[in-house]
Amino acid sequence: MTTRPPRWTCLALCAALSLVACAAPTGYERASLWNDGYGWSDKALGDGEHSITVRGNSLTSTERAADLALLRAAHLALEHDCARFVLVDQEALLRKQDQFDNAAVVRGGGTLVVPVQRRTTKEPVALLLIRLLPDDAPSTPGEVDAHALVAELEAALA
């Protein structure tokens, strides 16, 4: 006969896993609901221009967020078969974010998540606007070599 752990044990394990996931700076990953929107996102704007946004958690420095945005720009260029790109505009900032620490309360066979404490964190946001340069495009001042940047940043961010 197999015994199941009590429901509170499962809830405690889930809470512990979510704390462990939040105990590290944001990595190179696409922003999604599964990671609370932390990571990168990009959007094609037309004429070879793309916007890239990186949202980091409170353990992420603004420099790391900027490096993650540059790494995404290099990967994006390579995904579009372009070995070079140009930075059109860039910005890195800290955004104040209100968050709530929650507790799970089991009552009457159901689980209720109750906000316990409100706290304000500062989360870095890095924004880039890039223009991809096709291989046949002439050399442009300030162009970035995507292959070299990937090699440099992947080692630095590991």
DSSP-assigned letter for residue 120: E
- pLDDT value of position 1: 54
Q: Is 98 part of any domain?
A: yes
Note the pTM of the prediction, 2 decimals. 0.73
Cα-Cα-Cα-Cα dihedral of 90, 94, 97, 103, to 10°? 110
pLDDT at res. 22: 54
Number of domains in the chain: 1
pLDDT value for 103: 82
- Confidence at residue 8, expressed as pLDDT on a 0 to 100 scale: 52
Give domain status of residue 151, yes or no. Answer: yes
Q: Is residue 93 part of a domain?
A: yes
pLDDT at position 4 is 56
Is 1 among the domain residues? no
**CA 142 to CA 151: how far, in whole Å?**
19
CA atoms of 111 and 25, how far apart (whole Å): 30
CB 144 within 8 A of CB 85: yes
In a domain, 2, yes or no: no
Q: Report if residue 14 sits inside a domain.
A: yes
Beta strands (DSSP E) in the chain are: 39-46, 49-55, 84-107, 110-133, 143-145
Q: Which residues of the chain have pLDDT under 50?
A: 11, 16, 20
User: Please, what's the b/e burial string for 103-117 (b: 16 or more CB within 10 A of its CB; e: otherwise)?
Assistant: eeeeeeeeeeeeeee
Residue 106: give the domain boundaries.
7-157
19 belongs to a structural domain: yes
